[in-house]
Structure 1
């Protein structure tokens, strides 16, 4: 599989970026970038796009964010 497919598959199982990075042996920043790209091309949905709203009320700390936060401009 490709890195994109591996990241999307792991995130689809509910793993957060830090867990995915650890499992795949890559940097967490790379995983976040891949998830951001996946959200932009429609492979995954961010929580705000899935819920039809502009933003969530709060953002959890970086290591605790669910995959649904991928691509959200508020989580930077």
Structure 2
């Protein structure tokens, strides 16, 4: 699942009154996997020097890292 899809799912869950721990862990795991895939793809794009695709993918990576940071700073009550 893409970082933007995960962010959308996360926002939906937050809007429905909160996120269960199990769901947060699943989102976190999915996000880590997505970022790992993006980073592998980035390595390949850098070899081909495709600047347009590199910039587009970098935007996804940045968005994913921001969401990952939000997850890592999440507190439960």
TM-score in same-fold range (> 0.5) = no
Instruction: Give the TM-score normalised by structure 1.
Output: 0.35
Higher relative contact order (CA 8 A, sep 6+): 2
Q: Which has the higher helix share?
A: 2
Instruction: Give the TM-score normalised by structure 2.
Output: 0.34
Q: Which has the larger radius of gyration?
A: 2
